[in-house]
């Protein structure tokens, strides 16, 4: 699941970059640009960086699913022993 979310946030940044490049290459659109595209691109990049760091660093994102799988295979006592280590 974290990989899918990272992929979606990365795609959002890529789409924002493409959008900004296209707007800057169209003279009429460039004249009407009020800075909102650049602001949206920066916001998407910061959001992507923060969430990617969160999903890559924190182990508790991975442990709940991992713990459930271990509990189903080996029983709940084994899971508690593993998570305490």
pLDDT value at position 57? 79
Token pair for residue 73? 């295979």
Of residues 74, 4, 81, 12, the one with CA closest to residue 41? 12
Parent domain of 7: 2-84
pLDDT value at position 29? 81
Residue 44 has pLDDT above 70, yes or no: yes
Residue 54 has pLDDT above 60, yes or no: yes
- Average pLDDT of every residue of the chain: 78
Give buried/exposed letters for 51-78 (b at 16+ CB in 10 A, else e).
bbeebeeeeeeeeeeeeeebbeeeeeee
Determine the 3-state secondary structure of 85 from DSSP. Answer: coil
pLDDT value at position 65? 58
Q: Please state the domain count of the chain.
A: 1
pLDDT value at position 8? 92
């Amino acid at each position: 699941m974290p990989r899918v979310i990272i992929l979606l946030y990365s795609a959002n940044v890529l789409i924002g970059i493409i959008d900004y490049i296209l707007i800057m290459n169209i003279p009429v659109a460039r004249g009407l640009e009020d800075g909102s595209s650049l602001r949206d691109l920066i916001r998407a990049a910061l959001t992507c960086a923060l969430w990617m760091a969160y999903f890559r660093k924190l182990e508790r994102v991975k442990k709940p699913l991992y713990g459930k799988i271990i509990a189903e295979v080996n029983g709940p006592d084994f899971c508690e022993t593993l998570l305490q280590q």
